[in-house]
Every structure is written in structure tokens, then in C-alpha cells.
Amino acid sequence: MISKKELNLYLLNGYITPNWKLSSKQISDLIKNVEKLISDNKHCRPEQIVCPHMKGGTMGDLKGDTYNYFIKLAYTKEIIQLLTPILGQNIILWGSQVFCKPPKDGMAVPMHQDSHYWPIKPMSTCSVWIAIDKSSKINGCLKVISKSHKENFIHGKSQTGTALNSGIPLKILKDKKIDYIILEPGQLSLLDATLIHGSDANHSTFRRAGIVFRYMNSNSLFDRKHENHHQKDGHEVNYSKRPIWLIKGHSGKNTLVKNIN
Ligand SMILES: O=C(O)CCC(=O)C(=O)O
């Protein structure tokens, strides 16, 4: 559970790193499964492995059987306890992504607000970003603009060689203070959907891998009619048929809801 002080910091700044981390066994299982996922899917950039918790991913082209592991990880009791003060008693898992930046080759993620792309109405969602490797400025850790979650910013086409189609133009960001989220393996960060965040390219000799799970309050609607879009890697994001998972409580008016319990 996060403390009242941590909850207030999350509401104020748009993110927190709670005082909890995965156990050594959980970390070694996570490393093993991410490495298997990447080696089973050499056709994907490792920063762009979308929905590894779903059999076949969102397009049916993700190979291997690690989805069994990732969906169970999303139900980890302690992670859900951290989320509950933020999202309430009714929670759905609707997405996930592995962002693994190989040494010397990892792509930058342009500064963006996730709410710009997402089909959730109203936007009551929280991302749990879990560090698989030590993540610091050297290997392209997450960077955020604290308190930026109160406002919507325009997005434009992103530079070539970055992991997303669009980002916030650099001229808008130039005077804003950047905070770097430095994490040990197994530590995690909770991020508001509207917080401006991104990460630099990895020029170091150390891998920087993380996995993010996307949760929403199930009183919000996962809108099946939201416009589809195409990612840079040719991956089509199609929200109309994606299954989502009930983590706790009720599923509200949401459709295509599964449950592993
Ligand atoms: O892992 C990263 O560098 C970026 C993560 C991100 O953009 C996200 O979780 O929405």
C-alpha cells in the first residue's frame, strides 16, 4: 500500500516511486521471461513489444508462451495494493509494453503524454513501470516533467530513430525542468496518463529494460470505437477487439473483459 504522503505526492507531481520492490526471486523470473520474450521475437524492436501479457500480442504475431507469466505478474498482489489508493477498488488491466533498450543501440522515446493516444473515458488510468535492469541517466532511464499532468500539450511528428510516432515539440519543452527516475531492478514507478515523460537513447554498454502495465479504473470506459493508429514499426494499434482483464471489483460497462481468477 502507498502511504497518504506518497498518494499526495502522486497527485501533486503526477508520479511516485513507492517504497516497495519485487523480491530477488521475482526479479530473476522477470529477467528470465523478458529475455525469452525478446529472443522468441527477434522480428520486433525490443523497445516496441506491445502487450506481452496477451497470447500473440495485439496482432497475433508475438511468438512464445511467456504471456502466461506476464499476465500473472500483472495480478501481483503487492502491485495491486500500491495502485488501489490511486485507482480505487475497481481495476482493469488494459495494456502492457516491454521497453528494452539494448546497449549502444536503444532508441530514445520522445517526450509525450500517454493520454494523447489512449481510448479511456474519463482518463482514470495509471501506468506501473517496473525496472528490469538498473536504470539511470547513463542508459536512458525514464525522464519526466513533474506537475505536467494538469495540462494537455500539443504533439507533433517525432524525429526519426525514436520509438514513438509523435511527441511534444522541443520548443515547448525547452524551459521545463526534467526529473530523471533512477531505479534499481525490481523498483517501480507509478505514472499518471497525462504526465509528460520519455527517455534518451542508450549510448552506454548497459542494457536498460523495463516493463510497463497499464491499469484503469473500471468505472471509466475502454472505448472500442476509438480511432486505430499505426506505429512507426508498422504495428497497428487496434482497440476494438483487444481483450482486457478484470483485476479486482467490477468491470463497469466495459466489454471483452477476461479474468484469470
Ligand atoms: O520506457 C521508456 O523509456 C518509455 C516508457 C513510456 O513511454 C511509457 O511507459 O509510456
User: Could you identify the atom of ligand 1 that is nearest to the CA of residue 142?
Assistant: 3
Share of the chain above pLDDT 90, in %: 81
226-260 per-residue burial string, b: 16 or more CB within 10 A, e: under 16: beeeeebeebebebeebebbbbbbebbebeebeee
99 alpha carbon – ligand 1 mean position (Å): 7
Mean of pLDDT over the chain: 94
pLDDT at 176 over 90: yes
**3-class SS at 212?**
strand
pLDDT digits (tens, 9 = 90+) for 136-154: 999 999 999 999 999 998 8
Summarize the confidence of residues 144-171 as an average pLDDT.
88
pLDDT at 238 over 90: no
50 alpha carbon – ligand 1 mean position (Å): 11
Least confident of 11-15, 184-188, 223-227: 223-227
Number of domains in the chain: 1
Pocket of ligand 1 (CB under 6 A): 99, 109, 114, 127, 129, 142, 197, 199, 210, 212
Per-residue pLDDT, 236: 61
Per-residue pLDDT, 48: 87
Q: Which domain holds residue 85?
A: 4-258
Helices vs strands, H then E, count in the chain: 5, 18
Summarize the confidence of residues 149-166 as an average pLDDT.
84
Q: Which has the closest alpha carbon to 59: 236, 246, 253? A: 236
Best residue among 120, 149, 196, 199 to mutate for probing ligand 1, ranked by most atoms within 8 Å of CB: 199
Share of the chain above pLDDT 70, in %: 97
Summarize the confidence of residues 7-28 as an average pLDDT.
98
Which residue's alpha carbon is nearest to atom 4 within ligand 1?
A: 198
173 alpha carbon – ligand 1 mean position (Å): 17
Cα Rg, the chain, nearest whole Å = 17
- Cell, residue 31: 529477467
Q: Supply the CATH number for residue 60's domain.
A: 2.60.120.620
Q: How far apart are the first and last CA of the chain?
A: 21
User: Could you identify the atom of ligand 1 that is nearest to the CA of residue 112?
Assistant: 7
pLDDT digits (tens, 9 = 90+) for 76-98: 999 999 999 999 999 999 999 99
